Chain A
Amino acid sequence: MDLHEHQGKELFAQAGIPVAEGRVAFTADEARAAAEDLGGRVVVKAQVLTGGRGKAGGVKVVDGPGPAQQAADTILGLDIKGHITRRLLVERAVAIADEYYFSITFDRAAKMPLLMLTTMGGMDVEAVAEEHPDRLARLHVDPALGYRGFHGQRLMSMANVPVGERKALAPLLAALYGVFADRDAMLVEVNPLVRLEDDTFLAADAKVTIDDNALYRQPDVEAMRDLAAADPQEQAAREADLAYVKLDGDVGILGNGAGLVMSTVDVIAQVGGRPANFCDVGGGASAEKIATALGIVLSDDKVQSVLFNIFGGITRGDEVAKGLLGALEQTAVRAPIVVRLDGTNAAEGRALLAEAARPEITVEETMLAAAETAVRLAGEVA
């Protein structure tokens, strides 16, 4: 789960990490009130779950409540890489002397947290890694050891942080690691981590991703979920405990197993179609589960045909066929469904579907044939 900047900063503040004083605003009036409250110069920042908002005009530094209201008016509703801006963070502007970068990522290859620090902050870290690899300090933390003071000392030394600044920076690095470890984060990134003119440090941005599998023990983070920013289908799928990802084509896709569904999405594209979504119904084949999944896939107006791709394992093909037929009793579907059933008891399942002779169902034996038919049917409707 990705957090908004202001949510990440809330976790930072709880861990004693300095952040600028700020208020969240959902309207221009609220932004004006926030600026009045904070006084003086403020920064109005779009809160969207994507990068590149600065370039897109989503960050403005202004003086006073009136200009803050105007800035908010411009930024609210702004489309930043497909994300509509619906909330703002209004923060007291700070006097920046220097911009650094610090992150803790979950290094899957090394199976250890990876610390990265550079004094070249404020820019894209992949560009720093590319153009100035010597300036990007990287250090792993052995999970059995956890973060120790020496990790910070070594990292600051590798990054050539001026010696006089290290005493002030070290506690921030430690506290940010604390957020990473205690909050089950997959990513904690601060860009820029700023040195102020009074030689103290402050987290001027916050990019935090929390492990979905750990949300059960981070209830306050789960409560931060921005339902308005979520795609309606993805939200409905989450509530039904289904894995769903919205794509932007017209062939809806359902199947059992993440790998098989990913593969089905690829095959739809390979035969010239445009996949509308990824939806893994998982194991089991209850009519209710299939009906729920079908309902979510079809609630996307773009979907013109549906491919239901099942490879029966422990879940048998005849059970899946019964589940699908039961689902069609429960919900009317508005688009043709192509069913491909293979694996355990697939023949029995296909026989059941043939017997029911539902006009909305076309049965195919192979994944490729099913994909071709689904793409053709989507084209006929469109």
Chain B
Amino acid sequence: MAVIATADTRLVVQGITGREGAFHALRNRAYGTQVVAGVTPGKAGEDVEGIPVFDAVADAVDRAGANTSLVVVPPRFAAEAILEAADAGVEQIVCITEGIPAHDMLEVYHYVRPRGIRLLGPNCPGALSPGIANIGIVPAEVFSPGPVGLVSRSGTLTYQIGGELAAAGLGNSTIIGIGGDPVVGTSFIDVLDLFEADPETEFIVMVGEIGGTDEEKAAEVIAERITKPVVAYIAGFEAPPGKTMGHAGAIISGSSGTAAGKQAALEAKGVPVGTNPTEAARLVVERLGR
């Protein structure tokens, strides 16, 4: 069944006529994702290797039956692109764009969330269900189908841990990047609940990093209602306070958001935390006993 990226996904790519948009739309389609439309204002009637282009997301919904949007639009226009997709009635929006102003994302979050629309990202690699569908920029060749649900704030770190699991013969149900910005639409908790309900997922790996309190809150929820085993990894133990470590959201503010604090919160709830990606992968292999 998998989550977010499924056989039922009918994808519209916003920004499809751009270099990145076209590249990833075609990659996602080549993987087996149903890419039914693209949107670039002013380019209606064109196509990208057979994918019809519309001026507005609502047209892609009406005429091509799109139910999920992939936003590959420059940061200055991305917040509006998300709002457009939400207004057009898609069920899920995956936003790859890095660099959207945080204040814009506050507005977007509070528009999208109460309407029950799933927003993944921004500043995320998307979601991949190996063998089923790929929405976004996760390199599918690293991953194979299997029982481990993987959720992360970071792209390449996801590939690193996924690669280590693959080397140990473990595949994935779905790989989800929630994004590295201070305000993202989908939290660790949201994904934990999705994996808990997903029959394909037997085991959950959560990859966090410094900044915010999402990992601490996830620890509470794991203790409260997640019955599947969870292993975590946190990056940024050596990060100095007050410095943005690449991701806009990866910053220690005062005494809040440290890797040590997150590790302690998770371990206090019985979640093992690997100190590096290799150890995290080893913890999973040990517990799955395969």
Contact = CB atoms under 8 A, between A and B. Distances in A.
Interface of A: 2, 106, 108-109, 111-113, 126, 142-144, 181, 184, 186, 211-214, 216-217, 243, 245, 247, 255-263, 265-270, 275, 278, 280, 311-314, 342-344, 366-368
A258 B160 contact: no
A148 to B, nearest CB: 16
Given A109-B217, A312-B139, A258 B101 contact: no
B159 A313 contact: yes
B246 A278 contact: yes
B182 A262 contact: no
Contacts of A106: 102, 182
A243 B27 CA distance: 27
B209 interface: yes
B160 A263 contact: yes
A39 B107 CA distance: 47
Contact of B236 (A181, A213, A262): A262
Nearest to A271: B276
Given A257-B157, A259-B180, A367-B160, A143 B106 contact: yes
User: What range describes how many residues of B lie at the interface?
Assistant: 35 or more
Given A213-B99, A344-B141, A259 B152 contact: yes
A257 B236 contact: no
Q: Most chain-A CB neighbours within 10 Å: which of B75, B76, B211, B236?
A: B236
B95 to A, nearest CB: 14
Contacts of B132: none
A143 B139 CA distance: 36
A170 B278 CA distance: 55
B156 A256 contact: yes
Contacts of A126: 254-255
A-B complex: 8 closest residue pairs judged by Cβ atoms: A259-B154, A258-B246, A257-B156, A259-B157, A313-B139, A214-B101, A260-B156, A243-B246
A258 B250 contact: yes
Q: Most chain-A CB neighbours within 10 Å: which of B99, B211, B242, B277?
A: B277
A266 B237 contact: yes
A111 B110 contact: yes
B235 A259 contact: yes
Contact of B159 (A184, A265, A311): A311
10 contacts: A109-B214, A186-B182, A214-B103, A245-B240, A245-B244, A257-B159, A265-B236, A266-B236, A278-B239, A367-B276
A213 B276 contact: no
B248 interface: yes
A142 B103 contact: no
Contacts of B254: 126
Contact of A262 (B99, B106, B183, B209): B209
A313 B103 contact: no
Nearest to B237: A266
A109 B246 contact: no
Contacts of B155: 257, 259, 313
Given A213-B99, A280-B246, A108 B213 contact: yes
A344 B156 CA distance: 12
A311 B212 CA distance: 26
Contacts of A261: 245-246
A370 to B, nearest CB: 11
Q: Most chain-A CB neighbours within 10 Å: which of B107, B157, B180, B255?
A: B157
B88 to A, nearest CB: 20
Given A262-B245, A266-B238, A213 B102 contact: yes
B21 interface: no
B269 interface: no
Contacts of B245: 243, 245, 258, 261-262, 278
